Chain A
Amino acid sequence: MIITKKALPRRALLRGMGASLALPLLDAMLPSMTALAASPAKPVRRLGYVYIPMGAHIKDWTPPGSDLRQLSPILKSLAPVIDNCTVLSNMELRNAYPGTHATSNAAFLSAATAKWTESTDYHLATTADQVAAQQIGQGTRLPSLELSMDLLTTVGQCDNGYACVYQNNLSWSTPTTPLPAEAHPRIAFERLFGDGGTAKDRQSELRKDASLLDWMSEDIARLQRKLGPGDRNKMEQYLDTVREVERRIQKAEKATSESKLPDLDRPVGVPASYGDHAKLMFDLQVLALQGDVTRVITFQLARETSTRTYPEIGVSDPHHPLTHNGGDPEKLSRVAKINAYHVSLFAYFLERLKATPDGDGTLLDHSIYLYGSGMGNPDKHDHVNLPILVAGGLAGTKAGGRHIRYDKPTPLANLHLTLLDRVGARLDSFADSNGKISELTI
């Protein structure tokens, strides 16, 4: 037997990274941290999104009161960070209909209707995170970071007439450009911190990349002249991509020359257990935010129609069929267990953000994360009463720890609009929004 898949458990990465994960050292080695500390009056805003597939057992998700002093079973693990959380009930995504898994994922950040196609003419809308990236992402090396958990591509599971791009990609920089997410910790690490090595090596490599990109744009331009008008548009998109990467490399070069970044060891592989893998991906987000490598992150904690089993919490049934349960209370309780497990991983992340000093407060104070699903009741494939949770620096405006419960279904786009507003991207409307979440505005 031959095995080519490379992997190492998470603990090996942490060992490998050695003390570099310890906070004081990181504080010293990441240049932007000093920049931040020097200007505590203007804390950096960071915006993140975590997606969970197939909604939640909403009865066990919804907190009983109007505050979070009493937590619902699924949200229990949020207790240590409850002051930084707000739960919103009765949010809806009208544009996700007809009810499918593909549109749940696609509409979550776009609130838009996915064009029903399996071919290359797929079309959605620019997603909220990318609107934010245009506003607050241009100052950092990566305008945004897209992460996911599913390394294996499956076939035959997203063919309901919708191209797999809808189900796999949360983040779209234009209506026709889905941004692939990375599930491999090492590759994600390299995007954030490069190949490692000494600053001099890294810089000389970056320079080579920059000149290769120059040549790419020339080459594309050469091709473009030979093509018909329809195909020239495509070339224009490629040129934009080249320019974007050029910009990133310039930033990276600058950061490398200014930094005293020590040699960083890369994580080698993918932890075998889901929980360890997810925590590692959350750890990378902490590093990315802390180092100000990016300010906008999306993270798909599992894919729609995922048939993942969760033996570590005693759920050996695959997730997707378990959600088609006809209201069977036993199965619902197992769905709730999975939902609670996902929330506990998010809670781990929030606690790490809270433990990381940043400027005049903590990283959690200067970040906002939206956690939730584009599906409400997965048994019905509907898109109302979505499980939605906002966490982070709600402080500074109005305190967290609240449960906002709408009588009438309210567009999730209202929340997107509000959060974008909070990071300085002021739009009049977003998708089907009809207002802002007044409770969250200043």
Chain B
Amino acid sequence: MLRVVAFFPALLLAQQPVINQYCVGCHNGTSKAAGLALDTAKADDTATWEKVLRRVRGRTMPPVGLPRPKESDYQNLVATLETKLDAGKVDPGRTDTFRRLNRTEYQNAIRDLLAVDVDVTGLLPSDDASHGFDNVTVGNLSPTLLERYLGAARKISRLAIGIPPKQVGGETVMLPPDLTQEEHFEDLPLGTRGGTVVKYTFPQDAEYEIQIRLQRDRNEHVEGLRGTHVVDLMLDGERIQAFTAKPPTQGQDHSVVDREFNVRIRVSAGPHVIAAAFPKQSATLLETERQPYQAHFNMDRHPRITPAVFSVTVNGPYAVKGPGDTPSRRAIFVCKSEDDACAKKILSGLTRRAYRRPSTEADLTVPLKFYREARKTEGFEAGIEMGLRAVLVSPEFLFRVEQDPVGAAPKSVYRITDLELASRLSFFLWSSIPDEELLAAAVRGDLHQPTVLQKQVKRMLADQRSRMLVTNFADQWLYLRNLASITPDMRAFPDFDDNLRQAFRKETHLFLESVMREDRSVLDLLRADYSFLNERLAKHYGVPNIYGSRFRKVTFGPETMRGGLLRHGSILTVTSYATRTSPVIRGKWILDNILGVPPPPPPPNVPALEEAKAAMKKMTMRERLSEHRKNPACSGCHKLMDPPGFSLENFDAVGRWRQAEEGTAVDSSGGLPDGAKFSGVAGLEKALLTRPELFATTITEKLLTYSLGRGVEFTDAPAVRQIVRQSQKSYFRFSSFIQGIAGSPSFQFRRAQ
């Protein structure tokens, strides 16, 4: 073991006794636990020492149960390794040369370019995720995808310009079947219940037929139909029609109930809000002998008390008057002369925004060619439409391209151009294209200057579009995106409905947004004494005195078990199974997303618990997992994952507080890989906050992955540490992370091929 001396520089030499005593027993050339041989590792083997640092910093090594260094030794070792590793050469990594806009980015880019809202989920396939985000593996262009891009460009350009469709079309918005509609919804007029709001872009000044259908049970009977019910149809807040639903008379089937629920009406082109809702009747009798659930959508267990909207359909256009005056037309037609000069002006403006750089003559050749051809036969606007379509299928719009400068030496590090930097920024903060101000700064060539950059980042964070950091970044980081696909077992959780699912999502979104907008410390995500609730969610949580559908900020006293992220129904539900909690999934979620020490993947050929132990059935989850941990192949990781998960056992699979499970008191004692022992969510939060730099590091790594669209490598570690150190000075304010990333070498530089 003395061999080690030969390789260690003076700096690490001082740590050699600690490493020898606590690490080399397993991580040596003979045993090579986890592929690490620290007795022979070279001092410049950065990958190895970064790995060591991560484990030592997280105190996940040595494993729980084995002798550990003193805390001061830990700190010395961490400090030494950091100093040594931070002194190395900067490697900014290499983002892929071609990165396709993913579906979310495409949708936002269209919105910002053409001022038209399009639901792109119906036009483009979804993107595969890697490293936890769907903007990483985006280099490919399959024929299917290209076909979809052609189709999307066609639809979008026609809608934006207002080319009349060749045929009457229809669009139907269907409400989730498990949506309870007995109470008021936030975006609908007071005094109504149920229903829905649909934002719809009408393609033309024309007549449209709007149709409402009511929810039916599986016998095709309209649900909740017990007397006369009125349905109001509203356009932009004005009631345009009231329909009356009555039970069918003897001999009629239920198809007559809402057969006449349609109206033909003239609507101007552009975005409008269609709403359908029921005026609230004063005394609704609860006609159920069962427990009065809040969920009402299931004909057998908790039926609807009153009718509910099933779908809203818009058919049209009929009797077309013209394309009208729409936001998109105002954005596109920046001149009125309808000649070639005007076409050139329009298309050069569009290419500048779409290609995210000053437009050149060469950029315009082809779009103008398309314009001229179509203009000959179909007129000016059709010409612009074809020019626009050419822009929308151009690889320069669909792909973000980062090129090595001419003559760059292989592997050399270079600063990316200001234009490339502008795109990195806007796709990071807005998931969209740069706006004119950002683009102008890049064109001037001073965007990379720290003061200019900081000012732009600040401005962009304050812009509404930065909400994408919540709905796109955090949705993926925290797995909130999975909420949509989660349906807890209806027998075990009869009171779960889509209303609750939506409330979960909204709570966490508002909460994250409050930290971002108020520029709070990100540690508040774990320790806040407030959150956002409406009546539905407050009832679910057992918080009294919150009434109505509106979400509001609620500050909790110490006796309320709500507040930080780890107490949110959203996160507790996405880390549970349909029938029960999963301490394993919850624990792994904490290691992955909070502590940043993901357990290794399960070993190949996981040995199964072959013999079904009859006794296992009667065991609690805790006992069963402890049985599982007896198997040495499993225990290595489960010893890390299970204890933090156990501490959340006071929350059931839909995030309700519980003291007991099936008559047995809940045991919420848990721990962390650093050996900390505690009980319950408060203990967990406190333990996580003892070394806040771990959580700060995880957030930084997640943000960096998302902002660069590539996995974070060991070579990024010095940059990550630098950002965390800077943030620490401002007590981990949210904006310090964003500024830190924007200013980091990983974000501003690139390694040549």
Contacts and interface: CB of A to CB of B under 8 A. Distances in A.
B612 A329 contact: yes
Decide if the interface of chain A is mainly helix, strand, loop or mixed. loop
Interface residues of A, number: 100
Nearest to B404: A228
Interface in B607-655: 607-613, 616-617
A326 interface: yes
B489 A245 contact: no
Contacts of A179: 142-144
B753 A231 contact: yes
A311 interface: yes
B609 A326 contact: yes
B535 interface: no
B320 to A, nearest CB: 16
Given A179-B142, A182-B125, A99 B605 contact: yes
Nearest to B617: A328
Contact of A234 (B98, B489, B601, B603): B98
Contacts of A220: 395
A8 B174 contact: yes
Nearest to A150: B485
A421 interface: no
Given A184-B122, A316-B489, A1 B502 contact: yes
A416 to B, nearest CB: 22
A33 interface: no
A327 B611 contact: yes
Interface stretch (A42-50, A59-67, A195-203, A356-364): A195-203
Nearest to B408: A228
Given A6-B174, A179-B144, A219-B396, A307 B578 contact: yes
A129 interface: no
A208 B489 contact: no
Interface in A140-197: 146, 151-161, 163-165, 168-169, 173, 176-182, 184, 186-187, 190-191, 195-197
Given A2-B187, A216-B394, A164 B128 contact: yes
Contact of A318 (B133, B154, B578): B578
Interface string B446-464: 0000000000000000000
A7 B172 contact: yes
Interface residues on B, range: 35 or more
Contact of A321 (B142, B175, B577): B577
A1 B196 contact: yes
A6 B481 contact: no
A348 interface: no
A120 B136 contact: yes
Interface string A325-344: 11111000000000000000
A4 B173 CA distance: 7
Contact of B476 (A155, A187, A268, A321): A155
Contacts, number: 279
Interface of A: 1-9, 97-100, 118-120, 122, 146, 151-161, 163-165, 168-169, 173, 176-182, 184, 186-187, 190-191, 195-198, 201, 205, 208-209, 211-213, 215-216, 218-220, 222-223, 226-228, 230-231, 234, 237-238, 241-242, 244-245, 248, 263, 268-269, 272, 307, 309, 311, 316-318, 321, 324-329, 377, 379-382
A152 B128 CA distance: 11
Nearest to B148: A187
Given A234-B98, A380-B605, 16 more contacts: A2-B187, A5-B121, A6-B172, A8-B174, A120-B137, A161-B601, A177-B140, A215-B393, A231-B97, A248-B147, A307-B486, A309-B489, A321-B577, A324-B608, A325-B612, A326-B609
B248 interface: no
Interface in B214-228: none
B129 interface: yes
Contacts of A211: 370
